[in-house]
Homo-oligomer: A and B are copies of this chain.
């Protein structure tokens, strides 16, 4: 478990970046190893009347993390520590973790899977993995993942426009050949997996990717095709704080 703890640390550190959003609205707090949803002012349905931009606070999205009523389980010590670190460094616990927290076995395997994939060793930079996450989530129009990972692309790249472009249509981003080939593969594998063949892998190889890189691209594409669907199926809501990050 030592190793897992270490990769958790790395993950939290990486996600926090150099600009931790201190004091951001906390939608959940942890009491006695249990998540307790924090109160937030209700978000009015749109009325059609333009509110004066000045007085418009960044309202927290007051909806629960997911639309399924699942009782949070007692956090294991490892998960309690992990959540505390998220809180300390990011200022919040990402709602995807809150969503999985009804079952510790599921939460722990999810965290291990995610951290190995997105933060572990790879020929792909962390930014590239996030770019894939966003391109896949754009194809699937996943609100949760576009919000959380769009913020990560803005943060890792230091280029807010790049994040917006991949959210909207990755083809308009000024990508180098390597990254364009990578995202073309990611979107084809998402939209029509049945049509991916050797010539698609060859195109990645010609763009400089190794066999292992191709695995990693595929694994990230696969992972977000999973997460996009869990998020859509449960109406998972991103923490409101993501919206303002790294603009």
Q: Which residues from chain A sit less than 8 Å from chain B, CB to CB? A: 17-19, 43-56, 58-59, 61, 63, 67-70, 102, 105-106, 109-110, 112-113, 116, 120, 125-128, 131, 138, 140-143, 146-147, 155-162, 164-165, 167-169, 171-176, 179, 185, 189-190, 193-198, 200-201, 211-212, 214-215, 217-219, 221-223, 225-230, 232-235, 240, 243-244, 246-247
Contact = CB atoms under 8 A, between A and B. Distances in A.
A228 B125 CA distance: 24
Given A112-B109, A218-B230, A49 B127 contact: yes
A13 to B, nearest CB: 12
A138 B139 CA distance: 11
A101 to B, nearest CB: 12
Given A46-B175, A109-B112, A143 B165 contact: yes
Contact of A176 (B46, B55, B131): B46
Contacts of A219: 106, 230
A52 B18 contact: yes
B233 A214 contact: yes
Contacts of A215: 68, 70, 102, 234
Contacts of A223: 226
Contacts of A234: 214-215, 218
9 contacts: A51-B158, A56-B160, A63-B174, A70-B215, A109-B109, A147-B164, A171-B195, A189-B229, A219-B230
A155 B50 CA distance: 7
Contacts of A214: 68, 233-234
